[in-house]
Amino acid sequence: VILTTHSMEEAEALSDRLAIQVRGRLRCIGTPDHIKMTHGAGYQLEMLTKSGGSEAEASVEEFVKALSPSARLMESHEGRFLFQLPVLRAVGSKPSELSLASLFLKMQEATESIGLRDYSISRPSLEQVFLRMSKEQDEL
């Protein structure tokens, strides 16, 4: 059975395998988990600060870049920041290596130092993978 939909939630719930097509071109095919893992580009770190503004943005960006130089700021709006982080191991093999465990510790410490109100660390959703692929296609 072939199902076409614009709802990534529906596609993920009803499909064993799916394909993502952007502007008439097939971009990927596989299980929803496989697509999120291979095209999801690591983790997403969402941070909410107690105050917004350019000063808060500078301190948050400096903090995250110190954690992971390859981190990329994806969105910033009124004290809400969304960063793309590289793929992380559960536990680092070297003390200097950023891992999920060390990231959670450092985020807990950041609550006071940069005025962090809340944060979340997650894998990108299928919707976010699709939007990223669409954006990349537009840039070509």
Q: In this structure, are 50 and 114 located in the same domain? A: yes
Distance (Å, whole) CA 52 – CA 107: 18
* Per-residue confidence in pLDDT tens, the chain, 140 aa: 888 888 989 988 999 999 998 888 899 999 998 898 888 878 889 999 887 777 778 889 999 998 888 898 988 888 899 998 887 776 665 656 678 888 888 888 888 788 888 999 988 889 988 888 888 877 76
Q: In this structure, are 20 and 55 located in the same domain? A: no
Give the pair of three-digit tokens for residue 66: 């110190």
Q: In this structure, are 35 and 47 located in the same domain? A: no
Q: In this structure, are 25 and 86 located in the same domain? A: no
In a domain, 3, yes or no: no
Q: In what order do the strands lie in the sheet with 80-85?
A: 72-77, 80-85, 43-49, 116-122
Per the listing, tokens 């410490």 go with 109
In a domain, 18, yes or no: yes
Q: In this structure, are 81 and 19 located in the same domain? A: no
Q: Which domain holds residue 83?
A: 43-122
What contacts 70, CB < 8 A, 6 or more positions away? 85, 86
Q: In this structure, are 50 and 78 located in the same domain? A: yes
Distance (Å, whole) CA 64 – CA 67: 5
The torsion angles phi and psi of 67, rounded to 5 degrees, stand at -70, -45
pTM of the model: 0.70
Q: How far is CA 47 from CA 42, 44, 90, 106, 112, in A?
A: 16, 10, 20, 13, 13
pLDDT confidence of residue 95: 59
What contacts 109, CB < 8 A, 6 or more positions away? none
76 touches 57 (CB < 8 A): yes
